[in-house]
Amino acid sequence: MGLDADELREEIYSIFHPEPVVGSEGEEWYERLPDERLRKEYSLDASYWREFEYGSTSALMRRATKSDQETASIVRAQQVPRELFMGTLRLFGDSLLAYHGESERSGPYRFYPGILVSAWASFEAFVRIYSELFVKSAKELPTPAAEALLEKAQVVDDQGKVQTKFSPRPLLHRYWWLLKFGYGCEYDRGSRIWQLGKAAIDKRNELVHYKFSEMPSLKTTELWQHLEAIFLLLIGPSCQIRKTVFPDLYGLYGTLIDLRPLIEEFEEAPLLKGFALDLDSVIFPCPFDNVNETDFPTFSRHLERKPLRGSGVASKTPGEA
C-alpha cells in the first residue's frame, strides 16, 4: 500500500478501533458482515447470517433456572476465546509495524511462532469452554462422548474405587466430536477447509514439539494463511449448520482480512537454519550425567587427546596406559 510508518500505525489502529456510525439515536456500532472472500475463495454460503444473531431474544441464547457455581465459571469464561483471538490479531498487527520498512527481510524468531501458538490456544479455549458448557446443558449425552469431550475417563483402581483420570485427546478430534454431538454437524474431514486446518496445526506442532531436523521458519503470508485456516475451521461448519458456532466470529475474521493488504513479506527463521555444521569442530551444551566420554569428550579432554603437531602421537590423559 506504500504507507509510511505513521500511516501504517494509524491504519492498524483504525482496524482495531473502528469509528461508530452516527445514527438517529447517536453513535452506533454494527456487526461485521461475513466477508466476500468466503464465497469467492471457498464457496462458503454465509447468507444465513443476520445481525443480532446472538441478541438477547435469540434462540441461541439461554438462561439458567438454578444456581450452580461450576456452570457460572464456564459462562464467565465464554468471552475468553474472542479475547484470545483478538490478542492474537493485535500481535500480528504489531509484527507488521515492527518489520515495516526493514531493508533486511528475514530475521530470528520474534513474533510469528508466538502468534501461531496463540491462535491455536484461542481455538482450543473455544473447544474446551464450549465442550464444558455443552456437557453441562445437554438433555442427554452418552457417557463416553462426555468423557471424550472433557478428556476424562473413569477407571476402577485396585481398591475398587472409581477414579476420574485425565485422558488427553487430539484437539481436532475433540472439535469434531463437539460439532457432531453439540451442533449436529458431521463436518467433512476430507474437505479443503479441514485439510487447511490440519496443515496449520502441523505447523504449530513443528514449533511446539520442535522438528529440529527441519528447523521450521515462517513467512508473513504463510502465517496469515494459517490464521485464516483456523478461522475457517469455525466458519465452514457454521455455514453448513446455518448458525455461527460462537458470537462475533465474522468480526474476528474481518479483522484478519483487513490486515492482509498491509503485509510486507518477512521470514522468521532460526539463526543457523541451512548452516552446514561440521560437528567435530564445534562445542555445544551437553549438561548431562553419564555422558559417553569417548564420543563426547569435554573440550579440555579433547585437547589432551589431540595429536601433537609433527609427532603423529596423541597425548595421553593421566591414568591412560
In a domain, 186, yes or no: yes
In a domain, 310, yes or no: no
In a domain, 314, yes or no: no
In a domain, 126, yes or no: yes
In a domain, 60, yes or no: yes
What is the rounded CA–CA span in Å between residue 186 and residue 116? Answer: 26
pLDDT of amino acid 321: 44
User: Total structural domains in the chain?
Assistant: 1
Q: Give the pTM.
A: 0.90
pLDDT of amino acid 120: 98
| Maximum C-alpha span of the chain | 98
Mean pLDDT by 10 residues, the chain (321 residues): 91 93 71 96 97 94 94 97 98 98 95 98 98 96 94 84 88 98 98 98 97 96 98 98 97 98 97 90 93 92 72 50 44
In a domain, 43, yes or no: yes
CA-CA-CA-CA dihedral for 190, 194, 198, 201, to nearest 10 = -170
In a domain, 168, yes or no: yes
Domain that holds residue 81: 5-268
pLDDT of amino acid 161: 86
In a domain, 88, yes or no: yes
